[in-house]
Amino acid sequence: MRAESATKTPAARTAVVWDALRSALAERAAATGREALDIVDAGGGTGGFAVPLAELGHSVTVVDPSPDSLAALERRAKEKGVSVRSLQGDADGLGELLQRDSADLVLCHSVLEYVEDPRSALAAVAGVLRGQGVVSVLAANPIAAAVHRALAGQFDEARAVLDDPDGRWGDRDPTPRRFTADAVSELLTATGFTPGPVHGVRVFADLVPSRLLDGEPGAAESLVALEQAAAQHRVLRDIASQVHVLGQRG
């Protein structure tokens, strides 16, 4: 699978997610007998995941509320010589934009933090997925936010994250809510999905200075390998910047 960016750092930041998606796509293709799958990227923005998936031959639809992001998506797809369908809308409105039982995989990356009702959004995702279809959920982790605020010297804000039910560090926090691994799994279960293993994403990638990657041959590749090894470590995954879980519809 081609990485979604030519730069080294983004590959380290997303390698764990791509690993999980590769496995999910292969299993779905084997189950359906179709190599080209129907994929929806809810909140897919400028196509960081959608365009590489289209390059693999899948039929990809991006739903995003921002017309500027969708315009950038279309430019990116054109540059790569692929077709990606774009629809303006919100994740919790998927049922109004797409047919029921029409998708094999739905990406829900960095979406649940911002929608009005995360449970309604996942219920809408379930409605457009075919039986045994898969949702890929990627969400910000409050434990990592506390670590990062502490490293920035904002100790009161770090403590606030731990005490706040939404995992926020204050009124100026741009992220409306964050999710622990348990919270993501519970939300998937409540909306009719069977959650798979939890993966920690960006355990180290957000902490390593870019100069260390740029100045040392092979450092970026070693960081990717470290991220992959840490992704399911029972301690390290809980301090990752993001939590990733695949959920299968019954």
Angle at CA of residue 94, ends 90 and 95, nearest 5°: 140
**Tokens 């029921």 identify what position?**
100
pLDDT at 193 over 80: yes
DSSP-derived 3-state class of residue 193: strand
Q: What is the mean pLDDT of residues 110-137?
A: 97
Q: Cα Rg for the chain, rounded, in angstroms?
A: 18
Q: What is the mean pLDDT of residues 5-28?
A: 81
Q: Is 21 exposed, middle or buried (0-12, 13-18, 19+ CB in 10 A)?
A: buried
Domain ranges of the chain: 8-140+179-249, 142-178
pLDDT value at residue 10: 52
pLDDT single digits (tens) 204-249: 999 988 888 877 888 989 999 999 999 999 899 999 999 999 999 9
Q: What is the mean pLDDT of residues 20-45?
A: 96
Considering Cα of 229, then 233, then 235, then 241, what sign does the dihedral take? positive
Which has the minimum average pLDDT: 8-12, 132-136, 218-222, 243-247?
Answer: 8-12
pLDDT value at residue 250: 84
Q: Which two tokens stand for residue 216?
A: 């040392």
Whole-structure pTM value: 0.92
pLDDT value at residue 246: 98
pLDDT value at residue 206: 93
pLDDT at 7 over 80: no
CATH class of 8-140+179-249: alpha beta
Per DSSP, 92 falls in state G
pLDDT single digits (tens) 143-182: 999 999 999 999 999 999 999 999 999 999 999 999 999 9
